[in-house]
DNA sequence: TAGATTGTTAATCGATTAACAATC
DNA sequence: TAGATTGTTAATCGATTAACAATC
């Protein structure tokens, strides 16, 4: 029956080999470029073209794009509209994804006011804070509620994304609350790395840590110049 | 004379093998943990301990820490204060680094109001914007000036870091201006990847792209649950 | 001392790059 | 057709992990 390779013929998404992290991170960059090319009126693009524009090896571009399931035509390349569509589908950008944000301070309010995430299907439907001055208010049309309301509402509204912009000491507690209420993915902007069970996905977007990398590189550049 | 391996005996920082990017990115995480341990009154830490706390292989922790030049003692481990110091020195966090920010919108103002970066030596000394309502004002004690003032001031004040929070279409132009005025490292929060000469260091902190990764993972989780 | 820990060297793993046949 | 491009397979490169001697 030649069934020994059954793992190679996945029947569902879980068994299929998932995309490497670096490839996944490049896909939005391709998407940005493709949207610009489309706006310029272009209809076809080759991996060579993408490769030159983004400084990514052309073979790597081909491999990355193949994860989205899109096939190109030898000699011509890829149709831009089709490629945009398959990247958007692959990245799950075409579905509306409702999210709760906890923490309506500086960074939280800035993110609430930024409308660019809508393009990627993110809809922040409520914010939560402990500050009585903020509770009951609105930021960019989004209501700010007491943190005590979070769990009940998250369950009832089937919210799956949590965004954390609270101070470091509160971050883990907020994450735990969110997970208990059915949240499956957390975008954590606090300076505390949160720990979560295996089935929860977290991005720790620690801006200060990111700056530390820049700081080191700047130091390198400057000490090189003092030689 | 056995001089064939001269490249292995670097006389300055440029020739010495530089730290791999992944290691560099882990160092601030170690630093955060070490500061917490110090505040708890601990004085010594082993790589095993760090490894367990942060889920990083202990050998990798040792290799990462060795880049900072710190030596541990077999059986005991590393002195926490000394380790904090060498990471801070290695990451160039102990020097004050003055920066200019261009774009005083939502995200820009939020970053201006966040005081946590001071811990890492970042001092944003001025912000620049084209909006007449903002020019002349202050955010968190930081003056907002017209963009036309940027180049002259950056040169005179020897500013080396530029932070970009302007809309996508203006990002490249702002980067070019900054580089022309002697800025050496750019922290770019706009949604447009900027291109710069080799000797300039850039971090493209594209939050929407980061969200796209979360979006994809959430899609994976959800389709797995619908099996 | 015995045992925990460091630091180094070798093996493994995974991502990137190179080579090349297939295609239009 | 000839040539540009795709998509696959093999080779390379670099980071992580495993093994282990040295140390206190």
CB contacts < 8 A (A, B): 180
CA distance B81 to chain A (A): 19
Confidence of residue B10 (pLDDT cuts 50, 70, 90): very low
B141 touches strand D (CB under 7 A): no
Distance CA B129, CA B103 (A): 5
Confidence of residue A144 (pLDDT cuts 50, 70, 90): very high
Burial, A55: exposed, middle or buried (Cβ in 10 Å; 0-12, 13-18, 19+)?
exposed
pTM above 0.85, yes or no: yes
- Could you say which residues from 3 to 42 on chain A have a Cβ atom under 8 Å away from some Cβ of chain B? 12-14, 18-19, 24-25, 27-29, 31-32
In tens, the pLDDT along B159-206 reads 999 999 999 999 999 999 999 999 999 999 999 999 999 999 999 999
The tally of CA atoms less than 13 A away on the side-chain side of residue B172 is 7
Averaged pLDDT, B85-108: 97
Burial, A206: exposed, middle or buried (Cβ in 10 Å; 0-12, 13-18, 19+)?
buried
Can you give the pLDDT at residue B16?
55
Distance CA B95, CA B213 (A): 34
Nearest nucleotide (C1') to alpha carbon of A76: D5
Averaged pLDDT, A82-89: 98
Averaged pLDDT, A187-202: 95
Residue B211 confidence (pLDDT) above 70: yes
Confidence of residue A10 (pLDDT cuts 50, 70, 90): very low
Distance CA A212, CA A220 (A): 12
B59 touches strand C (CB under 7 A): yes
Averaged pLDDT, A29-50: 97
Residue B76 confidence (pLDDT) above 80: yes
Can you give the pLDDT at residue A46?
97
Confidence of residue A11 (pLDDT cuts 50, 70, 90): very low
B116 touches strand D (CB under 7 A): no
**Cβ atoms within 10 A of the Cβ of A81, count?**
12
Which residue do the tokens 């969200």 mark?
Answer: B211
Residue A12 confidence (pLDDT) above 50: no
Distance CA A88, CA B38 (A): 46
Among the listed residues A78, A37, A41, the one whose alpha carbon sits nearest the alpha carbon of residue A58: A78
Among the listed residues A153, A156, A169, the one whose alpha carbon sits nearest the alpha carbon of residue A103: A169
Residue A17 confidence (pLDDT) above 50: yes
Residue A5 confidence (pLDDT) above 90: no
Can you give the pLDDT at residue A16?
55
A79 touches strand D (CB under 7 A): no
Angle (CA) A212-B71-B56 rounded to 5° is 55
- Using alpha carbons, list the distances in angstroms from residue A89 to A14, A62, A64, A134: 17, 18, 14, 37
In the structure encoding, which two tokens stand for residue A216, read together?
A: 């080191």
Which residue do the tokens 């998404």 mark?
Answer: A13
Residue B22 confidence (pLDDT) above 70: yes
Q: Cβ separation of B185 and A113 shorter than 8 Å?
A: no
Which residue do the tokens 């030049």 mark?
Answer: B69
Can you give the pLDDT at residue A225?
83
In tens, the pLDDT along B129-145 reads 999 999 999 999 999 99
Q: Which helix (H) or strand (E) segment is B33 a member of?
A: helix B21-39
Nearest nucleotide (C1') to alpha carbon of B72: C6
What is the average pLDDT score of chain A? 92
Residue B218 confidence (pLDDT) above 70: yes
Confidence of residue A75 (pLDDT cuts 50, 70, 90): very high
User: Among A155-164, A193-202, B16-25, where is mean pLDDT lowest?
Assistant: B16-25
User: Cβ(A162)–Cβ(A186) under 8 Å?
Assistant: yes
SS3 B216: helix
CA distance B44 to chain A (A): 22
CA distance B201 to chain A (A): 7
What is the average pLDDT score of chain B? 92
Residue A28 confidence (pLDDT) above 90: yes
Distance CA A121, CA B83 (A): 43
Distance CA B42, CA A17 (A): 44
SS3 A65: helix
Distance CA B96, CA A201 (A): 36
Above pLDDT 70, what percent of chain B?
93
């Amino acid at each position: 029956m030649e069934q020994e390779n059954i793992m190679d013929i996945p029947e569902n998404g879980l068994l299929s080999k998932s995309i490497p992290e670096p490839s996944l991170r490049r896909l939005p960059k391709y998407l940005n470029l493709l949207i610009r090319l489309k706006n310029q009126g272009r209809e076809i693009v080759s991996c060579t073209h993408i490769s030159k524009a983004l400084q990514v090896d052309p073979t790597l571009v081909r491999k990355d794009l193949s994860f989205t399931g899109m096939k190109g035509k030898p000699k011509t390349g890829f149709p831009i509209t089709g490629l945009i569509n398959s990247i958007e589908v692959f990245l799950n950008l075409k579905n509306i994804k409702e999210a709760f944000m906890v923490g309506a301070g500086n960074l939280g309010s800035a993110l609430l006011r930024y409308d660019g995430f809508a393009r990627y299907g993110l809809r922040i439907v409520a914010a939560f804070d402990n500050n009585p001055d903020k509770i009951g208010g609105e930021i960019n049309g989004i209501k700010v509620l007491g943190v005590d309301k979070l769990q009940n509402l998250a369950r009832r509204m089937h919210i799956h994304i949590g965004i954390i912009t609270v101070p470091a000491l509160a971050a883990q507690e907020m994450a735990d609350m969110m997970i208990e209420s059915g949240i499956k993915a957390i975008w954590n902007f606090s300076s505390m790395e949160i720990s979560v069970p295996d089935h929860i996905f977290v991005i720790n977007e620690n801006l200060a840590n990111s700056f530390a990398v820049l700081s080191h590189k700047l130091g390198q550049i400057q000490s090189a110049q003092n030689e």
